[in-house]
Amino acid sequence: MFNLKPHQHIIFLSCLLVLCHHQKQTMKIGIVGFGPFAQFLAKTMIKQGHSITASSRSDYSEVCKHLGIASFYRDMAALFESDNDAILICTSILSLKQVVKSMPFHCLRRQTLFVDVLSVKEHPRDILLQVLPEDSDLLCTHPMFGPESGRDGWKDLAFMYDRVRIRDEALCSSFLQIFSSEGCRMLEMTCEEHDKQAARSQFITHTIGRILSEMEVESTPIDTRGFQKLVQVKETTSKHSFDLFSGLFIHNRFARQQMESLELAFEKTKQKLQERLKEEQDISMINHH
Ligand code: NAP
């Protein structure tokens, strides 16, 4: 067809390969639940050239227009019919069961990769495995960052994932590339391991932040570095919805144990101080007599 010399053939084929590879990585992604975190993720996906559609309980058509997303559907059926490679579930932890119940799986046009980004992992894994069509793959993920910590890019931020049911390896790795190509630290682990570790780290951080907020802790002119960090924890955690925080507790079976450890540790610490106070009072009584 083309009158090319052998070396030109090689260059032509290489260009074609690069082009195919590039095209393969560009996906059609339908997002279910278009709250703050979904909007934050969508910005980077759009920048990477993916084609995004969204659906949510509230009307985000203006936000979508602003972000350059062509279609926003109030009706999830329209999103399911729109031939997506992947459907990304970004609803709150507490509403997941209800949202999944109303998913019109019969409208899917083809095998689809389902991905969730909920901050607990066993809960969505169990619910989705019960209801997804047999030919749909499932990738459970938790980007360990949000609009605050990921404001200036995702480099070196942790991204947890569990390939719960993957048959289309190419599609799954294209999806993971959204995060690896931004420089995220990609951490593969089971949903159970995630929930154990997140209860000890993220849930404790949010709980301490909420306690500090209840105490109305504020900066003072004589803040130490340590205290500045505490104020920062209070401020970042209280920017998240209370739905998110309560979801971390209700749907992570390891969180209850952490709450008990926290209470116990508080009591022990208080008791140690009270014992020392009593010793000091006894000494001063003896000295007085
Ligand atoms: P969120 O309060 O956890 O979730 C808000 C989303 O849930 C919105 O899309 C909202 O829809 C939807 N929703 C709430 N109740 C609903 C109901 N009864 N029926 C249908 N939809 C309902 O806030 P978020 O920060 O955007 O988090 C979204 C998900 O990402 C959560 O699962 C969270 O754990 C996860 N995540 C968040 C972060 C973060 O930094 N924020 C980081 C990693 C993972 P409408 O807005 O349409 O009402």
- Which atom of ligand 1 lies nearest, measured to the CA of 91? 7
Q: Whose CA is nearest to atom 42 of ligand 1?
A: 146
Domains identified in the chain, total number:
2
Specify the amino acid at residue 232: Q
Going from the Cα of 72 to the center of ligand 1, the distance in angstroms, rounded, reads 17
Question: Is residue 98 lining ligand 1, measured as CB closer than 6 Å?
Answer: yes
Domain range for residue 199? 195-288
Q: Whose CA is nearest to atom 38 of ligand 1?
A: 146
Segment 119-171, tens digit of pLDDT: 999 999 999 999 999 999 999 999 999 999 999 999 999 999 999 999 999 99
Q: Indicate whether 178 and 242 sit together in one domain.
A: no
Beta strand segments in 108-154, E? 113-116, 137-143
20: its two tokens: 């195919």
What is the predicted pLDDT for the residue at 25? Answer: 74
Question: Is residue 56 lining ligand 1, measured as CB closer than 6 Å?
Answer: yes
Segment 231-242, tens digit of pLDDT: 999 999 999 999
Using CA atoms, how far apart are residues 28 and 32, in angstroms rounded to an integer? 13
Q: Indicate whether 31 and 66 sit together in one domain.
A: yes
What pTM, to 2 d.p., does this model score? 0.90
Q: Is residue 145 part of a domain?
A: yes
Q: Where are the alpha helices (DSSP H) in 53-121?
A: 61-67, 76-81, 96-101
Q: Indicate whether 144 and 205 sit together in one domain.
A: no
CA-based R_g, the chain, Å: 25
